[in-house]
Amino acid sequence: MFRELHQVVFAFTYHFWSKYMPKLKRTRKKNDPDPINSITEKKERERIWLTLRATEMYVFCCCVAMGLLQMISLRFSNTVEMKKCRYQRTYTAGPWSESSVADYLRKNIFRIMAKHPNLAITRLIAKHQIDDFELDSA
């Protein structure tokens, strides 16, 4: 699962940082004070907390995406469309891997959404596209 999170969903590619974060030394000794304790300003502590929260939320959303890929794999692996999607060197009778499902969705998500305009996710995306277009036009 770590490999799939790392290589398929890119869960560990976050780059959140705060300028209020103190520099950490790799060679810190046990007797040296903790750099985090040197931060006394409430605003700085809040910014560091928000940075940590953004990192955790990004990884959490990637884990949810991984779970969705697994559920789609279990539910739809036997469909004809999935079998035509990608060349497999060795045929598997079981469910497709998360990377195969992600590849299929990358290639076909817009076609699927155009084919099913009444899906809740399709309507939500269309609404946001219209709202963004109106903001850009103004």
Tell me the torsion sign for CA atoms 98, 104, 107, 108: negative
Judged against a pLDDT cut of 90, whether residue 63 lies above it is answered with yes
Most confident of 16-25, 42-51, 96-105, 128-137: 42-51
Q: What is the pLDDT of residue 137?
A: 66
Q: Where are the domains of the chain?
A: 2-137
Give the separation between CA 82 and CA 77, rounded to whole angstroms.
6
Each residue's pLDDT tens digit, 100-114: 888 888 888 888 888
Name the pTM for this structure: 0.70
Most confident of 19-28, 29-38, 40-49, 122-131: 40-49
DSSP 8-class letter at 127: H
Each residue's pLDDT tens digit, 68-94: 999 988 888 777 666 666 666 666 667
DSSP 8-class letter at 35: G
- Residue 104, number of CB atoms within 10 A of its CB: 22
Q: Which residue has the higher pLDDT, 18 or 65?
A: 65
Q: Which residue has the higher pLDDT, 108 or 131?
A: 108
Q: What is the pLDDT of residue 56?
A: 93
Q: What is the pLDDT of residue 61?
A: 94
